[in-house]
Amino acid sequence: MNDLIRFFLFKRRLKRSMEQTHQLPDPWSAGFQRDLLHRIVDSTIADVDSILEIGSGDGVVSEKLLEKCQRLTCVELSTRAIKKAKQNLGAEAERIQFISKDIYDVSLRPYSAVVLSFMLEYLGMNQFSKRFVWLMLDICRHTNQIVIIQPIHQEIDMKRIETVAVILYKNGFELLTSQIEKESTPHLYVGSFAKSNKNLQK
């Protein structure tokens, strides 16, 4: 079985898994951490023109991101999650462009900032590392700031974060802030990376 077929089967299994996960009321307890997640957004992102959130889930982080930008685009694989997000956000959801696709299938355009929310484990980083690297390179080309919000369940989660950090560093990004939020269960890693001045988009 070649890599393309394996990748297709992986994405199909992932889609099914995500829909099942979002049958739960709050699969990552994001609602219980709403205040913490909103503080994280406040501390990592200034007011900007546009933000892309990858892995928007039920819209807990999206709610705060709306206050930070004129245009918010949310990419979320699960149609159930998008439905929940629209319910949770009410009328404010009309200000968001929701894209119900795998991020690998989305054509990116320039954004002021990109937020990776609770989703590194779903990118097939181990099985399909080349495709993951290509994705990150594409994100690097289309933004000047990247924020990672990632639960730490086990050691592999930190390895995923380190992999992303190395890619960003090699592509002209500098680490602005990096911390572990221990108020959360599981703990949350929060990292903010910005394109260095000499590499800023014109």
* CB crowding 39-64: b at 16 or more within 10 Å, else e: ebbeebbeebebbbbbbbbbbbbbbb
Give the C-alpha separation, 16 to 25, whole Å. 17
Domain enclosing residue 191, as ranges: 3-199
CATH number at 10 reads: 3.40.50.150
Tokens of 200: 């800023």
Total structural domains within the chain? 1
List pLDDT tens digits, range 22-77: 455 554 445 558 889 999 999 999 999 999 999 998 899 999 999 999 999 999 98
pTM: 0.83
